[in-house]
Amino acid sequence: MPCLALVSLKRDQLSERSMREVYHLWQLAGGNVEQELKKQKLIKIKPSILTLPSVMVVEGEVFGGDISRSQQLEATTIVLPLHTLRSRLAHIPPEKYYPLITQGESGTDELETSQLPLVIRERDVEYQLHRLLSFQRLLQAYPHKADSILKEARKDTPPFYRALVWAALLNVDGAVAHTYQLIDKETPTPTDRQIEVDIPRCHQYDELLSSPQGHAKFTRVLKAWVVSHPHLVYWQGLDSLCAPFLYLNFNNEALAYSCLSRFIEKYLHKFFLRDNSAIIQEYLAKFSHMIAFHDPHLFNHLDNIGFIPELYAIPWFLTMYTHVFPLQKIFLLWDTLLLGEASLPLCVGVALLRQLKDRLLQFGFNECILLFSDMPDIDMERVVRESVQVFCSTPRSVTFRQHERPRPDPSQASPAHNAAQAGQQDLVMDGVSLPELKREKCPRVCGADLLELLAHKRSHSGRAKVLVVDVRSPEEFARGTLADAINMPADTSLGPDGTLLMGPQMEVLSSYRGKIIAVIGSRNGWDQVVKFAEAILVQEFPRVCTLHKGVEVFRASGALMVPS
């Protein structure tokens, strides 16, 4: 039985930490229990053939052969040496062990390690000690310090406290143990058989989840979710979704259940309805729009070969990538996913495709199918980094879904909020029918977002980062349009086959390649707006979008002006 020596020094700050924390830090400092046991000759390596029994009957009973010592209870106690850990932490002042969370002290900003890649930070003893000290204080003050936890988690989440940090980010609170205890997890249900089939296939490379105890815990947590959500149903993939929470909370099923419930409510709202076809189809349509918006080259290729998201992306989103990647990569991904909105998984999907872009552009339909049937190795840190960039460069209305959970308004002064308050509901994004979404290749942006882009999204040179292209007739354009808009009438700018013709404004349009290009027109001429946007998309202009509901939405706002 390994034992950490913590009581040998007077006023030793390390001795005031919990045994679990010290053991975690001891491992980061290079400690290895197996090596220590070998030093004490408590582990002896024998040839495998010498460990086999002489006889084994069909029932599993064995006869002959020596009983392995590893199969017996070992009462020996050994002391794990802490001198290496103490020497690594000796230079840390005592006051750093007691950070003042009211003053926002994290203790890591001045460390050189804080600027290194995450994989190095997670293995650095000093850095992780500071993170553990900060998060312990913040978690003790939860939910009062929920905002501070979110702020610190944006830097990184220490693996030691990942389970509790995730619970805080999901706003899990209250008597979760009592709630879980009251749920009937024993009475047979119609989904029991499917759960029994799915669990043995879920992350079975992991010893913890593949153990009999792991299977039993899986069953109880999944049954608890099914029983407590009678309006929803069990879909294959729910077991994969449960796996990260159960792994992190293996000895706290109640917290695993609560986290799973909150996660589904936020990121997979309505996905587990009995009839979820419309929800999934809308999600996939939005994903297709996101690909077109951020990478038209890749979108055009996949569209031409007929490789649509329905063929590969449903397991991505239904399981939030847990069915695709091993747990360690999921931890890295979800550390960031849980910081964002429900639209962030769409951005993750775009980042994944962009990492595979070089291969996909060389492949035909069949090769793409084979590629996604056995996902190649993915640089998850790069995916996380690029997905955040995609999210930050995407107008909120582009990812709006009518089936998503209502979004909390991050600012009461947002353009959408002000527009709604002023009674200008047309400026705010609302639902679009599924047939329209699937028919259109470019995403829509609402009037409020477009006005915000025109007002604030300017480069250092003062030039707007968005170009408004008005495709109405010159007469309609002259009666009123948005500031700095250019007029490219669809009637004269598009050829009979829908291709973009060269004209006097093409040079201006080309100069804005890489910026947001918003195609606007009248509500009655919506087909022309869509055709023009798709003609630009074919020319591989990124970030092309259309104005939702046409220029008519600006009439009451006073945003239209007569061009000079």
User: How confident is residue 412, by pLDDT bands cut at 50, 70 and 90?
Assistant: very low
Angle between helices 125-140 and 162-169 (to 10 degrees): 40
What local confidence, expressed as pLDDT, does residue 7 receive?
A: 46
3-state secondary structure of 467: strand
User: How confident is residue 557, by pLDDT bands cut at 50, 70 and 90?
Assistant: confident
Which residue in this structure is represented by tokens 């003790």? 140
The pLDDT of 212-233, averaged and rounded, is 95
User: Which CATH number is associated with domain 176-267?
Assistant: 1.10.8.270
Quote the strand ranges of 264-349, DSSP E: none
Predicted confidence (pLDDT) at residue 423 exceeds the cutoff of 50: no
Going by C-alpha positions, the residue among 221, 318, 320, 310 that lies closest to residue 271 is: 318
User: How confident is residue 9, by pLDDT bands cut at 50, 70 and 90?
Assistant: very low
Predicted confidence (pLDDT) at residue 414 exceeds the cutoff of 70: no
Query: What's the pLDDT tens digit per position in 495-516?
Result: 888 888 887 888 889 989 999 9
Domain 421-554 CATH (choose: 3.40.50.1450, 3.40.250.10, 3.40.30.10, 3.40.710.10): 3.40.250.10
The pLDDT of 436-448, averaged and rounded, is 95
What local confidence, expressed as pLDDT, does residue 3 receive?
A: 63
Predicted confidence (pLDDT) at residue 100 exceeds the cutoff of 70: yes
Query: What is the distance in angstroms between the CA of the first residue and the CA of the last residue of the chain?
Result: 84
User: Which CATH number is associated with domain 277-399?
Assistant: 1.10.472.80
User: Per-residue DSSP letters for 224-280?
Assistant: HHHHH-TTS---TTHHHHHHHHHHHTTT-HHHHHHHHHHHHHHHSTTTTSSS-HHHH
What local confidence, expressed as pLDDT, does residue 413 receive?
A: 47
Going by C-alpha positions, the residue among 444, 355, 343, 449 that lies closest to residue 391 is: 343
The pLDDT of 251-273, averaged and rounded, is 96
What local confidence, expressed as pLDDT, does residue 66 receive?
A: 62
Predicted confidence (pLDDT) at residue 259 exceeds the cutoff of 70: yes
The pLDDT of 217-224, averaged and rounded, is 96
Give the DSSP H or E segment for 78.
strand 78-80
The pLDDT of 79-102, averaged and rounded, is 86
Rounded distance, CA 464 to CA 516, Å?
Answer: 9
Rounded distance, CA 132 to CA 162, Å?
Answer: 10
Q: List beta partners, residue 544.
A: 517
3-state secondary structure of 445: strand
Predicted confidence (pLDDT) at residue 263 exceeds the cutoff of 90: yes
3-state secondary structure of 202: coil
What local confidence, expressed as pLDDT, does residue 75 receive?
A: 76
Rounded distance, CA 428 to CA 421, Å?
Answer: 11
Query: What's the pLDDT tens digit per position in 388-407?
Result: 999 999 999 999 999 988 86
User: How confident is residue 96, by pLDDT bands cut at 50, 70 and 90?
Assistant: confident
Q: List beta partners, residue 484.
A: none
Q: Is the model more confident about 413 or about 61?
A: 61
Q: Where are the domains of the chain?
A: 1-91, 94-169, 176-267, 277-399, 421-554
Residues 230-257 as b/e (b if ≥16 CB within 10 A, e otherwise) read eebebbebbbbbbbbbbbbbbebbbbbb
